[in-house]
A and B are shown apart, each in its own frame.
Chain A
Amino acid sequence: MEIFVFDGTLEGLLTAVFECYQKKSEAVKLVSQTHYVPDVFKEAFAVISEDAKAKRVWKGLAKKLDSNWMKSIYRAFLSEQPATFQDLFEFIRYIIDSPPGAEANFGNKYVLEISKMSHKVHREKHRMEAFIRFQKTADHIFYAHIEPDFNVLPLLIDHFKNRYADQKWIIYDLKRKYGLFYDLEKVEEITFDFTAEMSPALNALPVNVLDSQEELYALLWKDYFRSVNIPARKNMKLHIRHVPKRYWKYLSEKQG
């Protein structure tokens, strides 16, 4: 068993696949730098990300997989899970080594794992699209911050850009310390240097930076949420299945 250490980027992972064919490696354990604990008895091979190598692997995959599967690979990668990095590595090797169509083999462990993880990431992306609550600031920017389990921001760009084309907005990932800013033209990545002071509570910008009508609409929304409830039908089990408790903090209507 050889150990490959990569930099945690998708480019690095694809480069690792390239190197593995170059070196004719058999069994490889793929570890990202952040998770790597050096072992005195075993030497590790340090993968150095290279655009050209990564692209060759990506293009090779694109010849065999349709765009949905290519997206699934990307989504699974955004899970940032160490086990998924390994699964991706194995999945890619399996696809390269097999005749076309192998991705439909759900009897294969890696096909199944990647499709499942991609599904999980997709589900969280979808939840963010649903649960993000913007607050309007005095300078007319609609602002929200999130703390997703997976790194889903890159997956949110198109949805929010298409939908909120006529308003400026920011979605900030407190956990990963970067955000998206849409300025009516394009979406840019931004970082704040004051995130340490930011309240981890969601929907919690200080009142003095908010638009004067923000309070009214937040209140009307809460009222609305209360009015549409039908107490005779109460079913908390079902409720929690749809909105797991860890997401409640996103929902302004559930606060206070």
Chain B
Amino acid sequence: MFERIREKLEILADAAKYDVSCSSSGSNRKNENKGLGDAEGTGICHTYTEDGRCVSLLKILLTNHCIYDCAFCVSRRSNDIKRAAFTVDEVVELTMNFYRRNYIEGLFLSSGIFKNADYTMERLVRIVKKLRNEQRFNGYIHLKTIPGASEELLKEAGMYADRMSINLEMPTESGLKLLAPEKSHEDVKKPLNYIQQTITQFSSEKGLIKAVPKFVPAGQSTQMVIGATPESDKEIMHTANTFYKNFSLKRVYYSGYIPISQDARLPVIGSQPPLIRENRLYQTDWLMRFYGFDVKEILNDAHPNLDVDIDPKLSWALRHLEDFPVDVNTADYKMIMRVPGIGVASALKIVQARKFGRLHQDQLKKIGISFNKAKHFIRYADSPLQLRDYEAGHIKAVILSESSSKYTKVPKNQLSIF
């Protein structure tokens, strides 16, 4: 018994780890029934893996048996690996016991597709129902939407889950067709759309009826695998942008492909996952969501791929030197946020602090901006007289040389790709 459950957990956690979504925030589920757990507010990372990824949920598959054969997936039908399946009670027990010891924020439950979509989805729903109704569990639950599952089941799942997600897998339809001919982006859009509409319907009823039950309170997310197929960064981020807009997604995740297959269509085993590229895509995602950038400003036909050596904000600024320098004592909050080296929080502090007098260099440093980077793009009370305009290449070289540790000391395992 002891050994069997250990083995199952090993197989089914290992198979689930390629889904990089880790968020456990954005829900509003409080512990109101004196039960276990509280999923209100921002989630906690209870530990980090050695690659620096947050571990906040018990992320497992119900089973890694699958009737499909997607080339990029470890659980694909044709892969010769050990298979296992949890029972409903096993998942419930594991979740409760991990949660009680403060190991996790909740459960992220996904599954290979066995028999058919509804059969699989029905089992996932049974688990979340049991956790909520019998165990009075109020922790976070992220449930995978199984493509092709009936709307009744999706609706039921949404009544118990905090977040639901369904993966696009590849950034474009053609990329997906290449590796998983049985699948299409349409299969993803349909349930995304149905759940999104149901969320809207529930929230519009909120004004009318007092106790509207929760429905996927933390919203939906999706994931794309990066680097398995030949899409440009522009294609990737434009797809992300469309999905954010059309389905009000909370997050899009970008997962650098880890070679796990001998399939000739895919990068060979042992080649390095594109970690820097993945990081740059996330930075772009942040610029779109929190810094007021339009995706077209960062990626367009003239500039279809992100720079590897510098971050996308710096890259954008260097291409738009005509918008700089920005005077931190007078400029708009929005423009201050666009300065390389100044983040959302520092920008806010700057506009608050300048009401008390013009800001000087030492104050800007104390506020916490990356001064060495920002100084090329700003004017402040005691900024030195500037006799001539520098050109982009020069500024870039200076910044790179001053921050050598951050940009050139890339972990060894990432060097070989560039």
Contact = CB atoms under 8 A, between A and B. Distances in A.
Interface of A: 102, 104-108, 112, 126, 129-136, 142, 144, 162-167, 213, 216-221, 223-225, 227-239, 241-243, 251, 253-254
B239 interface: no
For the complex of A and B, the 8 pairs showing the least CB-CB separation, nearest first, are A238-B52, A233-B51, A227-B13, A106-B353, A105-B356, A242-B48, A104-B352, A163-B38
A126 B50 CA distance: 20
A107 B363 contact: yes
A230 B367 contact: no
B87 interface: no
A185 to B, nearest CB: 10
A217 B51 contact: no
A134 B5 CA distance: 21
Given A131-B46, A242-B48, A221 B258 contact: no
Nearest to A165: B34
A81 to B, nearest CB: 18
Interface of B: 2, 5-6, 9-10, 13-14, 16-18, 30-31, 34-38, 44-55, 58-59, 94, 97-98, 100-103, 136, 256, 258-259, 272-273, 275, 349, 352-353, 355-357, 359, 363, 366-367, 411, 413
B105 to A, nearest CB: 9
B50 A166 contact: no
B34 A242 contact: no
Contact of B50 (A108, A112, A227, A235): A235
B14 A227 contact: yes
A241 B366 contact: no
Given A235-B52, A241-B52, A130 B352 contact: no
A229 B51 CA distance: 7
Given A135-B101, A239-B49, 16 more contacts: A102-B356, A104-B355, A105-B355, A130-B44, A133-B102, A164-B36, A165-B31, A166-B35, A167-B100, A217-B98, A228-B14, A228-B17, A228-B55, A230-B53, A234-B50, A242-B52
A130 B58 contact: no
A217 B367 CA distance: 45
Contacts of B47: 130-131, 225, 243, 251, 253-254
Contacts of A234: 50-51, 411, 413
Nearest to B44: A130
Contacts of A167: 36, 100
Contacts of A216: 2
19 contacts: A102-B356, A104-B356, A105-B353, A105-B356, A106-B367, A107-B356, A163-B36, A167-B36, A213-B97, A221-B98, A223-B13, A232-B259, A233-B256, A233-B273, A235-B51, A237-B52, A239-B50, A243-B47, A253-B47
B50 A229 contact: yes
Which of A104, A167, A235, A237 is the most central at the interface, judged by chain B CB atoms within 10 Å of its CB?
A: A235
B47 to A, nearest CB: 6
A25 to B, nearest CB: 26
B353 A224 contact: no
B418 to A, nearest CB: 16
Contact of B100 (A134, A218, A235): A134
A220 to B, nearest CB: 6
B268 to A, nearest CB: 13
A126 B46 CA distance: 10
A133 B100 CA distance: 9
Given A132-B102, A164-B100, A237-B411, A227 B10 contact: yes
A223 B9 contact: yes
Contacts of A230: 17-18, 49, 51, 53, 258
Given A105-B353, A106-B367, A164-B100, A225 B49 contact: yes
B34 A166 contact: yes
B6 A223 contact: yes
B257 to A, nearest CB: 10
Contacts of A237: 52, 411
B48 A243 contact: yes
Contact of B46 (A130, A144, A166, A232): A130
